[in-house]
Amino acid sequence: MPEHDFPFDPSYGYDLAGLLAIAPPPEPAGFVETWRARYAAALAIDPAPQVRVSAARRPGFRVLDVEYRTTDGFPIRGWLLLPEAASPRLGLILGHGYGGIEAPDFPLPRADAAYLMPCFRGLCRSARAPIATEPHWHVLHDLDKLERYILRGCVEDLWTATTALLMLCPWLAGRIGYLGISFGGGIGALALPWETRIARGHLNVPTFGHHPLRQTLPCIGSAEAVQRFVAAHPDAAETLRCYDAAVAARHLRQPMHLALALFDPVVPPPGQFAIYNAIPGEKVRFVLPAGHFPYPRQAAREAALLKSLATFFAPLAS
């Protein structure tokens, strides 16, 4: 366990065997029907994507600024990266964490992919009042309104991103994957069960898994903000039941690759593993010593993860 000075244990007393035994919470009535209806409505959106040459630079890629329209007429902005050497053989949509994304400069698993990097509504390039950009406020936006909770919109942003990518690169149909980290990992777990156009997915330390258990585990960051809000507004727990990534993961049918932390003060590992454990089909488990916290030989472990992801997404390029 990494050395730390938190007033709680970010491993929560679980070893790997204990984490692998965590089951997802019960599924609310109408869960599947509700999410399928939302997906169908999002498919009817014309995102009308627009691109222009970006001031950002990335060796080996042509970088374009991209903007598209999602549900509620919300404008989403981000980047599209296209390989300079040849036409992309696969497309990968990247879902960022609550730390945001200010530039397309982080490690990428494949040089032959087109990368769409949208900023989810209210965050980074897609910031817009009255949605707060700070994670501990963003995660609470409309939490008291089941049909308006911010996570619904962010899931829809991913679905419309898929439509936008296929409009920009139609030859990539059937060759699209998703990579989401932390916040983006939880959004991916909520979105991919209903998204038939994404063939493979990777979730890195995904959040929003097993809300009833998460509410009992001390932590920091956005999860702590949710705990405080629900303590003051108990009815909000019903909203969380309908946005539980571990419940949604029961319905994942794509091959999935998950990077899961044994120690994480921001996204408690029991919630991460509840998502992994719920997946019924083909899945790859990649264990990290820690998430949202530095640990010894971290660079080597992250390099191994990139190599694993390059292999996992290779079938999309064949």
Domain ranges of the chain: 16-313
CB proximity list for 202: less than 8 A, separation 6 or greater = 177, 178, 179, 180, 188, 256, 257, 258, 259, 309, 312, 313
Residue pLDDT, tens place only, 119-177: 999 999 999 999 999 999 999 999 999 999 999 999 999 999 999 999 999 999 999 99
* pLDDT tens, residue by residue, 26-76: 999 999 999 999 999 999 999 999 999 999 999 999 999 999 999 999 999
Q: Which CATH number fits domain 16-313: 3.40.50.1820, 3.20.20.70, 3.40.109.40, 3.40.50.1220?
A: 3.40.50.1820
